[in-house]
Amino acid sequence: MRVLITGGAGFVGSHLVDHYLRRGDEVIVIDNLITGQEENIGQHIDNKKLKFIKQDVCDVTEVKGNVDLILHFACPASPFEYQKYPIETLRVMSFGTYNMLELARIKNAKFLLASTSEVYGDPEVHPQKEDYFGNVNLLSPRAVYDEGKRFAETLTLSYFRKFNLSIGIVRIFNTYGERMHSEDGRVIPSFISEALKNKPLPIFGDGSQTRSFCYISDMVNAITKAAQIDYPMPMNLGNPAEYTILQLADIVKRLCPSQSEYEFLPLPDSDPKKRKPDISKAKKLLGWEPKIGLEQGLKKVIEWFRRKK
* Residues noted as catalytic: 145
Q: Are strands 242-244 and 210-212 parallel, antiparallel or unpaired?
A: antiparallel
**C-alpha triplet 33, 35, 37: angle, nearest 5°:** 55
Query: Integer distance in angstroms from the first to the last C-alpha of the chain?
Result: 37
HSE-CB at 38 with a 13 A cutoff on CA atoms is: 7
Per-position b or e across 67-83, b if 16+ CB within 10 A of its CB:
bebbbbbbbbbbbbbbb
What lies within 8 Å, CB to CB, of 266 at 6+ separation is 204, 205
Alpha helices in 137-236 (DSSP H): 143-163, 187-196, 216-226
